[in-house]
Amino acid sequence: MLVQTSSQKNSKVHKILILIVMMLFISACKPAATTYRPPDHNEIIAFIKDQGITPVVDKLLDDSIVLLYENTTSFGYYTLTVREPEGKPAMNHCVSAMKSDQPILIIGQMSGNKPFLAVIIQDTALLAETTAIEVAIDSQNRLTATTNGQKGVILVSPSPVNDWGTITLYNAQGKILYRQ
């Protein structure tokens, strides 16, 4: 019959403790899970400066920001998010369209979790009078936003969109100023 000595028992306990400590250490050293968050105010300001753009309006979409901008020749938007734990800004999408003599410019996306449409008023007389913009998704659903004197608005659909419908601009009295 084998009899264990106390030193042999202590050795086994010691090995088990070392194994437990190593397992805890290894599990604690796993890389942190990657998550995403919208950029904060300072990160947005830094991005605007780096890109040399003028912001028009921005809109929060879950873990990202849609930043509508203009520069000397075009309007466009960026969707921006920050990857954590690195704190590294990431640009998901960038779309731009040349400025034109058309009264309004329309850019956006119909896919993704939050389809959106950016409407930019390029005509200065129309901009001065417009207080609200309405976009028809279909015959029963419409999105509206006030302009608050800004050149553009971002309208977000709560569900996927097959096609964006008629866009209507209104003045403060509810009169239709422009329809496309």
pLDDT score of 16: 78
H-helix or E-strand spanning residue 65: strand 64-70
Structure tokens at 166: 């008629």
Distances (CA, A) of 75 to 13, 66, 99, 140: 69, 13, 6, 30
Report the predicted TM-score, pTM, of the whole model to 2 decimal places. 0.78
DSSP designation for 53: -
* Beta-bridge mates of residue 107: 118
Q: Are 93 and 112 in contact (CB under 8 A)?
A: no
Closest CA to 76 of 40, 60, 110, 52: 52
Question: Looking up tokens 């601009």, which residue turns up?
Answer: 169
Tens place of pLDDT per residue across the chain (180 aa): 555 566 666 677 777 777 776 766 666 666 668 889 999 999 999 999 999 999 999 999 989 999 999 999 999 999 999 988 888 888 777 899 999 999 999 999 887 788 999 999 999 999 999 999 999 988 888 999 999 999 999 999 988 888 889 999 999 999 999 999
